[in-house]
Amino acid sequence: MAEFIPAAKPLIGDEEREAVDRVLRSGMVAQGPEVAAFEEEFGAAMVDGRACVAVNSGTSGLHLGLLAAGIGPGDEVIVPAFTFAATGNAVALTGATPVFADVNLQTYTLDPQDVRAKVT
């Protein structure tokens, strides 16, 4: 069997373990005072006190962001072809159409020339 080589090592200390224990003991793992406190603190620190909403996944975050931007049926959203499925799925969940553009083979980011070609 091949040796597992992790891409990253999580940094989980006593403070994180205690927070997880608090949430599990409360029985409120999706909502509750810990989530509300996180949203308030994060919103104050990162978005100048504007509303902040915690979500359960990257897909949900992408979907919510697209909805907040007014993306919906009839829209096309250019996304990288080299990505996780959630990128296109979040666009499709809004009723918009994901349009896949190639990535630059050196940077693995969207290729601007292909993006220009995909704009309708």
Cα 78 to Cα 100: distance, rounded to the nearest angstrom: 6
Give, as one character, the DSSP assignment of residue 103: B
Q: How many domains does the chain have?
A: 1
- Whether 48 is covered by a domain: the verdict is no
- Tell me: pLDDT of 96 over 90: yes
Is the pLDDT at 107 greater than 80? The verdict is yes
Residues 6+ apart with CB under 8 A from 66: 77, 90, 91, 93, 94, 96
Asked whether residue 69 is domain-assigned, the answer is yes
DSSP symbol at 81 = S
Taking the whole predicted model, whether its pTM rises above 0.95 is answered as no
Residue 77, in any domain of the structure = yes
The verdict on residue 84 lying in a domain is yes
Residue 100's closest CA among 73, 116, 82?
82
Domain enclosing residue 90, as ranges: 58-118
Percent of the chain with pLDDT over 70: 100
Is 108 part of any domain?
Answer: yes
Predicted confidence at residue 29, as pLDDT, reads: 82
pLDDT tens figures, 48-95: 777 789 998 999 999 999 999 999 999 999 999 999 999 999 999 999
In a domain, 67, yes or no: yes
Within a domain: 98: yes
